[in-house]
Amino acid sequence: MIGKSELRVQCNATPADVKLFRAALTSFLAVFRLNRVFLEDVSLAVGEVLANAVEHASPESEWTDLELFARAEGTEAIVIDIYDRGNFVFRERRDGRGFGLTIVRAIAREVSIDTAEGTRVRMTFSPGNRVLRGRS
């Protein structure tokens, strides 16, 4: 496994850009030879946070910047921050909606939300024994 490494991507918070963020993250994590199921879990959690940022960060006519900052710290942890300049809104669940953060919390080892200046969601993932296919 490669030691410490980082990825930073910034662009508009539009639905089309979410695909770009996910593709960049997938490529970044591929070099670490992580288990496919673990990668799918991380992608799902990050996708939920990105979708929330796009949907809730700003009105469609005023897209905000969105930033993804991912760090791999050896085999111990992958930390991913999603930043936007929008205001975080806690909403009650509606039929078939409102499960995004529940999914994220089920997948990530730790989740924190900072709303001091826009919104920053930090997710920490532990590959644990699911890391490094072909190695013990």
The one-digit pLDDT tens for each residue of the chain (136 residues) are 456 789 999 887 777 888 888 889 999 988 888 888 888 999 999 999 998 888 766 555 565 688 999 998 766 789 999 998 876 665 566 665 567 888 899 999 999 999 888 889 999 998 764 433 333 3
The pTM score is 0.80
CB 88 within 8 A of CB 74: no
Domain of 61 in residue numbering reads as 5-130
- Does 20 map to a domain? yes
Task: Please report, for the domain that includes residue 74, its CATH number.
Answer: 3.30.565.10
Cα gap 10→87, rounded to integer Å: 18
Domain count across the chain:
1
Cα gap 124→122, rounded to integer Å: 7
- Does 135 map to a domain? no
- Does 136 map to a domain? no
